[in-house]
Amino acid sequence: MIKTKACLVAICFLLAIFVAALMAPAAEQPYKVSPKVQDTFGKIIAQPAIKKGLDFIKADHDNTITEQKQINIIPAPPFKEDKRSADYFKRLSALGLKDMKADSIGNVCGIWPGTGKGPKLLVAAHLDTVFPEGTDVTVKEINGILHAPGISDNTAGLAAQLSVIRALKASGIKTTGDIMFCGNVGEEGLGDLRGVKAIFRDHKDIDGSIHWDYADVTGVHYSAVGSHRYEITYKGPGGHSFSAFGRPSAIHALGRAIAKIADLKTPENPKTTFTVGVVKGGTSINAIAGEASLLMDMRSGSDKELLAVEAKFLQIVKQAAAEENARWGSDQIKVEIKPVGNRPAGSQPSDAPIVQASWISAELIGVKPKLMDASSTDMNLPISLGIPAVTLGSGGKEANNHALTEWFDPTDSYQGPQRVFLTVLGLAGIDGVTEPLLPKKR
C-alpha cells in the first residue's frame, strides 16, 4: 500500500513537471549569423589594418569627445540647422572626403570612394535637435559626465562618425563599395525626415544605410514605427462671453474632438498609439473662442493599423465641428485639417545581411548585441523604400534625451565608432579581402 502511494506521488510529481514545462514560455532562440557572414568577418578581423583602425578609434576617444562638445554648442533647432551644417561641412571636408556637397535644405555629404565595383552605403547622423532657438546648449562637465541639451541626441553620433572616417584614413583600407557620409537635417519633431527624404530622392543609387542615433552600443534597430501627424484648427465667429452667448466656440469644438480621441481603441499588437500633444486657442477668459487648434501624433509598426486609426481620427475632428454647430443651431464652426508629418512604417527580415553585420560587429568588439523593438528614426525612409537600413548607437550612456537635463557618459563610448567601423567594412567589402555583404541594386 505504501509503495502504491509512493508511486502515485511520483507519477503526480512527474506529471506536474510535464504540465509546467508545457505552460512555460518557450526559451528565446539564439540569434544566428550565417556561415557567409561569419566567414566574411573572420577574414576582416584577421587583417592587421583592421586592428590598426580599431586601435586608432580607441586612441582617438578624447579627440572625439572634444569634437562632440564643440559641435554641441552650435545651435541646431528645427529648420534652423544652417550654422551646424556649415561647421560639419568643414569637418567632413577636412577629412578628405570626395565630392563634398551641401544641398538646399542643409544636408552635407561627402564620399569615401571605393573601387567602383561595389554597392553604395550611406552612413548618416542627424544635425538637428528638438530644442527651440535660444536654448542654452552650453556643455557642463561634472565628474566626467557631459550635461547639455542635445549632447547625446545627436551630437554624439555626429562626433562618432568623424572618428570612423579618421580610422579609415589611418588604417589605409580600400573599400570595394563607396561610402557616403552625411550630416542630415530634419530628423526631430516636425522635421518629418525631410533630410533623408531629400538624400534618397537625389541619390537613387544608395544600396543601404546606417543611421546614428541613441547611445546604446548593443542595440540593432532594424524595424520602423511609422507616424502620421496633423494640425487641426477650428475657426468660428468668436465674441463676448455674455453679449454674444449662443455662438459656437472653437475651443468647445476642440474639446469635443479631444474627448472622442481619448476614447479611441487601438491594438496592442502591432502596437499602435495616439496622443494629442499640443493644444492652443482662445484670447480671454471672457471671450467665446474664435480659433483653437491641436497637434496629433499617431504611430504604429503597421501601415494598415496606422491608416485605420487615422481614418477614425479624421472622422472625429469633422464630427466635433458638426456637433458644436448643432448645439447652437449654427454652421459657423469650420475645421481645417493640415497634415504636418508622415514617417512611413516598414520592416525587413531580422536575418538581413545588414542586420547580421551589425550583430556580429558588436560581438567582435566584446559587447552582447540585441535586436530592438521597432523605433522611429531616419531609417524609416529607406526601409519603407525596400532599402536595407539599421540604426546603431554612438556608444557611452545617455539619459533625459529631449529634456534640458540631457546628459551623456562618454565612458568607453569609442565602442560605438568601432562597431560601425566594422559594420561598414563588412557591408562595403574590402578590396582584395572580402566581397561586400550589402547587395548592389540591379
Mind listing the domains of the chain with CATH numbers? 35-224+346-428 (3.40.630.10), 226-343 (3.30.70.360)
Q: 134: buried, middle or exposed (CB in 10 Å: 19+, 13-18, 0-12)?
A: exposed
Judge if the upstream peptide bond of residue 344 is cis by omega within 30 degrees of 0: no
- For residue 65, how far is the Cα from the chain centroid? 22
Confidence class for position 10, pLDDT limits 50, 70, 90: very low
Report whether pLDDT(428) > 80.
Answer: yes
Tens digit of each residue's pLDDT (9 = 90 or more) over 183-222? 999 999 899 999 999 999 999 999 999 999 999 999 999 9
Report whether pLDDT(386) > 70.
Answer: yes
Tens digit of each residue's pLDDT (9 = 90 or more) over 357-385? 999 999 999 999 999 999 999 999 999 99
Q: Which three cell numbers stand for residue 414?
A: 569609442
| Helices 353-364, 35-45: crossing angle, 10 deg rounding | 40
Tens digit of each residue's pLDDT (9 = 90 or more) over 287-317? 999 999 999 999 998 889 999 999 999 999 9
What is the phi-psi region of residue 396: left when phi exceeds 0, alpha when psi lies from -120 to 50, beta otherwise? left
Question: Residue range 321-337: average pLDDT?
Answer: 98
Judge if the upstream peptide bond of residue 154 is cis by omega within 30 degrees of 0: yes
What is the C-alpha separation between 94 and 87, in angstroms, rounded?
Answer: 11
Mean pLDDT over the full length of the chain = 93
pLDDT at 83: 98
pLDDT at 442: 63
Q: pLDDT over 90 for what percent of the chain?
A: 92
**Residue of 108, 144, 179, 147 lying closest to 420 (CA atoms):** 179
Question: Residue range 234-261: average pLDDT?
Answer: 98
Q: pLDDT over 70 for what percent of the chain?
A: 93
Question: What number of residues does the chain have?
Answer: 442
Q: Which three cell numbers stand for residue 250?
A: 472653437
Tens digit of each residue's pLDDT (9 = 90 or more) over 216-236? 999 999 999 999 999 999 999
| Helices 82-94, 155-171: crossing angle, 10 deg rounding | 10
pLDDT at 423: 98
Report whether pLDDT(24) > 80.
Answer: no
What is the C-alpha separation between 411 and 154, in angstroms, rounded?
Answer: 17
What is the C-alpha separation between 426 and 436, in angstroms, rounded?
Answer: 6
Confidence class for position 441, pLDDT limits 50, 70, 90: confident
What is the C-alpha separation between 278 and 256, in angstroms, rounded?
Answer: 15
Q: What SS3 class is residue 405? A: coil
Confidence class for position 9, pLDDT limits 50, 70, 90: very low
Confidence class for position 29, pLDDT limits 50, 70, 90: confident
Confidence class for position 247, pLDDT limits 50, 70, 90: very high
Confidence class for position 124, pLDDT limits 50, 70, 90: very high
- Which single residue is written with the C-alpha cell 540569434? 31
pTM of structure:
0.89
Q: Which residues of 262-274 are buried (b: 16+ CB within 10 A; e: fewer)?
A: eeeebeeebebeb
Report whether pLDDT(4) > 80.
Answer: no
What is the C-alpha separation between 205 and 387, in angstroms, rounded?
Answer: 10
Report whether pLDDT(341) > 80.
Answer: yes
Q: What single-letter amino acid sits at 303? A: D
Q: What single-letter amino acid sits at 384? A: S
Report whether pLDDT(64) > 70.
Answer: yes
Residue with more model confidence, 9 or 151: 151
